[in-house]
Every structure is written in C-alpha cells, then in structure tokens.
Amino acid sequence: MDLSTSTVLVTGANRGFGRALAAELLSRGATVYAGARNPDQVDLPGAKPIALDITDPASVAAAAEATGDVTVLVNNAGSSTGADLLTADLAAVRLEMDTHYFGTLSVTRAFAPQIAANGGGAILNVLSGLSWVSFPDFGAYCAAKSAEWSLTNALRLQLADQGIRVAGLHVGYMDTDMVRAVDAPKSDPTDIARIAVDGIAAGAYEIVADDASRQAQAALAGGVSALYPQLP
C-alpha cells in the first residue's frame, strides 16, 4: 500500500500512541484525520483534527459524515480502568468492553463502507499482548482486548472481498500515560508506530511488535499450563 496517497483516520490521536501513529503516517505523506473526543487537544502539525468519541454512536456517525475520503482506519482509542472482574464496579468493566469491543466495531461499521467505496484499503486494530494472556489485576481490560482480537479475526474474513485488509497490532507496555504507574520494561511509542505503519504498508494481517507479545503468542500453543505456569 502506498501510504503517500492514503487518507487515514486515527482514533485517539491527541496523545500517546495514537499521536505517534499519526505523526508516523504524516511523515510518509499520508493525509491524516486525528480523531479525539476534544479535537482542540490535537497539536500535531499537518493533522486534521476531527471530533470523535468512539463510545458515542452519534459522534461516530458525524465523523463518517464529515469525511468521505478515508482509505485507512486505525482503531487506536482505548481505555484502561484497572478494573478487577470480581470486585470492580461493573460500570468500569462495561467501559472497557464499550471502548475496545463495541467502540472498535462501531467505528469499523461506519467507515468500512467509505473505505470500500474509495477502492479498498486497510484497517488496523491496536490490540495487545494481553489479547492472548490475562492478569487478574486488570482482567476487564484483558477480556475486552481478547474480544477485540476475535472481532478483528471475524472482520478480516468478512471484509476481504471488499478489498479491505484488516490487521491486528499486538504490543506490550509502551511508555505512555496509560501505563505510567506500571514498573516494567516499556517500548518507545515512536518505534512501535514505525513497526505498525510498516505492517500496514506491507499488507500484513498480524503485527507482533515486541518480545512480550511474541512470548504470549508462542505460549498459546502450550495451552493453559504454558500461559499460566503459576497455577498449581
């Protein structure tokens, strides 16, 4: 895919990894819509700010109506409530699913027809190594990312005959505000953005961007005992 002739919508592009993705795409000559709940927070030169709350169907519909030329969609917007599945308020658990699963689906449903009408293109869903392995301390996030992974697999098959390649990006911790309190090795978001955009350009279906995600992917073949060796 020639990204220099592509028009890309990046959700959650006002900060963190979304901003890094938008910057990388701009550096390759793409036209970039930077989606954010508050577009005034978009400070990236060259990007086109657009109001977009992926959990609000009216906002999603308005964004689709305001564009028309999108050929690549990057579903990046996310949440991280730190919700425990057994003890957290169910509203926090629902927020994770409303954002990562229903939000991603809502935006895809709104923009896939636009991408197809423009001759096809690509969709990248920003997933996680936690799509494949879960931790109790933030079980709601893991469950939502796992659901988004399944959604990605289904949409990949469903949209292929419309000329839309659907990719999933799996990555562990990145040095962003979302995981500021986590004491663990973290990737530079600009490095992961470059890997992700390389994957889009190459037409990859799955982009596994770091060692933590590669280890989680490999453990899947070993079953529960490989994924969770701490179990008795």
Please answer whether residues 116 and 66 qualify as being in contact, where contact means their C-beta atoms are separated by less than 8 angstroms.
no
Please answer whether residues 28 and 3 qualify as being in contact, where contact means their C-beta atoms are separated by less than 8 angstroms.
yes
Residue 75 β-bridge partners: 125
Please answer whether residues 8 and 33 qualify as being in contact, where contact means their C-beta atoms are separated by less than 8 angstroms.
yes
Please answer whether residues 180 and 218 qualify as being in contact, where contact means their C-beta atoms are separated by less than 8 angstroms.
no
Catalytic residue flag (residue 141): yes
Among residues 101, 141, 205, 228, the one annotated as catalytic is 141
Please count the residues of the chain.
232
Question: SS3 for 161-174, per residue?
Answer: HHCEEEEEEECCCE
In Å, what is the CA distance from 140 to each residue of 81, 105, 144, 168, 178? 8, 18, 6, 20, 15
Please answer whether residues 94 and 88 qualify as being in contact, where contact means their C-beta atoms are separated by less than 8 angstroms.
no
Residues whose CB is less than 8 angstroms from the CB of residue 103 and which lie 6 or more positions away in sequence, other chains included: 54, 55, 75, 77
Catalytic residue set: 141
